């Protein structure tokens, strides 16, 4: 199971590290290895949330996520995205941006860092909406009941999550963004840039999440009929299989996953510049890390880990909320990558420990007294 799920990740790791050593020696080998670990630590919560969405899809779309999706994640976000940032900010062509990355790494790093306020605002608002829609949603399984239940009551107010997100954006643009961090330690007023980028992130979430939810709801009746058919087949002694979402619903969930991965990768790409300005080292290291995040997502789905450890998704969503806040804060103050990475991993580890404790006292799959029935936790879509 491990080799089947992580085989490609192992292969890419060996090939990537071998290429780094062959072209750049032990220095390149070490930097690529460090960047791989950085990407995994920053994106572990991403894998947990991805698994909660991916388990709704059928085998075909899960395979698409591992093939086409990984191409988008590795080549699109980890290689092309930094180049696009430079091209847009410098108002130059992509080839010129590549030339800067290869021949003038300091200039390249400066342009990417100076574009950080807009990147952080877009990604921060997208991730914040995921967290808010999770925390304001009423659910039977609660981790921190003293906090989640009162907030779920507030979530019954129409568009309450959107209102909170807009208030957070307004506060960020009017305070933090007035002295945005730039390359070399200087600060500029980026209020308008942050406001526009934040609204774009919010609209992207509403559009992609809304479309995926719309088509998912349209298929609920079909799923009910399939469920009835499966029960009839089981009574008749025929073999049945789990049917996941397909068609338009699966496509928009896939699109949502890719936008979600893009939002998570912002932090990894920006954080990588604290380690190196070498574009190919960054692409190799972050690409290897992205492969493991993809494989870990599939492993969580196939092993049913999210069902067995009931609070993992809660911990991941709290980590998303923390990352969203840290992205907005980082518009003005530089936060060490070890802080953002370890904080998210720590929340997930705490949720995992809580799940183990629950299983020890109540048994796996057995709800607590304050949770009458165990239900799956939605992704916020």
Taking residue 24's Cβ as centre, other Cβ atoms within 10 Å add up to 17
Judge whether 355 lies within some domain: yes
Q: Is pLDDT above 50 for 167?
A: yes
Q: Which of 40-49, 328-337, 343-352 has the lowest mean pLDDT?
A: 40-49
Q: Cβ(182)–Cβ(114) under 8 Å?
A: yes
The string of pLDDT tens digits covering residues 224-268 is 666 666 666 666 665 555 445 556 667 777 777 777 777 666 656
Q: Write down the pLDDT at residue 174.
A: 92
- Are 173 and 194 within 8 A, CB to CB? yes
Rounded-to-integer distance, Cα 266 and Cα 313, Å:
21
Q: Determine the structural domain holding residue 340 and report its residue range.
A: 2-362
Q: What is the model's pLDDT at position 368?
A: 44
State mean pLDDT over 3-20.
86
Structural domain contains residue 381? no
In a domain, 241, yes or no: yes
| Six token digits for residue 44 | 């572990």
- Domain membership of residue 242 (yes or no) is yes
Measure Cα distances from 348 to 22, 65, 233, 295, 316 in Å.
37, 23, 39, 18, 6
pLDDT at 195: 94
Q: How many domains does the chain have?
A: 1
Task: Give 301-335 pLDDT, tens digit per residue.
Answer: 777 776 777 888 788 788 888 888 888 998 888 77
Structural domain contains residue 312: yes
Q: Which residues contact 356 (CB under 8 A, 6 or more apart)?
A: 309
Is the pLDDT confidence value at 32 over 90?
A: no
What's the chain's Rg over C-alpha atoms? 21
pTM of the predicted model, to two decimals? 0.69
Q: How far apart are the first and last CA of the chain?
A: 30
Q: Which residues pair with 252 in a beta bridge?
A: none
Q: 375 lies in a domain?
A: no
Element spanning 57, H or E: none
What band does 377 get if pLDDT is binned at 50, 70 and 90?
Answer: very low
117 within a domain of the structure (yes/no)? yes
Whether 234 is covered by a domain: the verdict is yes
Lowest-confidence segment of 45-49, 217-221, 315-319 by average pLDDT: 217-221
């Amino acid at each position: 199971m491990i080799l089947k799920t992580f085989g490609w990740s192992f292969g890419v790791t060996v090939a990537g590290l071998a290429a780094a050593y062959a072209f750049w020696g032990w220095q390149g080998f070490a930097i690529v290895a460090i960047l791989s670990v950085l990407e995994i630590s920053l994106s572990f919560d991403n894998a947990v949330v991805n698994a909660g969405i991916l388990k709704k899809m059928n085998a075909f779309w899960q395979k698409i996520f591992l093939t086409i999706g990984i191409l988008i994640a590795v080549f699109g976000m980890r290689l092309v995205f930094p180049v696009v940032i430079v091209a847009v900010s410098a108002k130059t062509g992509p080839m010129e941006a590549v030339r800067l990355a290869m021949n003038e790494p300091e200039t390249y790093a400066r342009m990417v860092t100076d574009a950080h306020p807009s990147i952080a605002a877009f990604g921060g608002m997208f991730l914040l909406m995921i967290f808010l829609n999770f925390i304001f949603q009423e659910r039977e399984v609660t981790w921190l009941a003293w906090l989640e239940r009162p907030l779920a009551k507030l979530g019954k107010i129409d568009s309450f999550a959107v209102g909170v997100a807009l208030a957070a954006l307004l506060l960020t643009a009017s305070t933090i963004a007035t002295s945005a961090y730039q390359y070399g330690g200087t600060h500029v007023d980026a209020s308008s840039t942050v406001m526009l980028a934040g609204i774009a992130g919010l609209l992207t979430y509403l559009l992609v999440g809304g479309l995926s939810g719309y088509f998912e709801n349209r298929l609920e009746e079909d799923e009910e009929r399939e469920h009835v058919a499966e029960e009839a087949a089981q009574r008749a002694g025929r073999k049945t299989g789990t049917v996941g979402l397909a068609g338009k619903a699966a496509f928009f969930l896939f699109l949502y996953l890719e936008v979600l991965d893009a939002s998570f990768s912002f932090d990894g790409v920006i954080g990588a510049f604290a380690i190196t300005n070498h574009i190919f080292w960054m692409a190799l290291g972050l690409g290897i890390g992205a492969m493991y995040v993809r494989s870990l997502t599939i492993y969580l789905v196939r092993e049913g880990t999210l069902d067995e450890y009931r609070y993992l998704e809660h911990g991941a969503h709290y980590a998303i909320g923390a990352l969203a806040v840290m992205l907005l804060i980082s518009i003005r103050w530089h936060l060490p990558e070890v802080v953002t990475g370890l904080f998210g991993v720590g929340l997930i580890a705490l949720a995992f420990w809580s799940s183990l404790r629950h299983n020890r006292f109540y048994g796996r799959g057995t709800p607590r007294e304050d949770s009458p029935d165990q239900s799956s936790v939605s992704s916020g879509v």
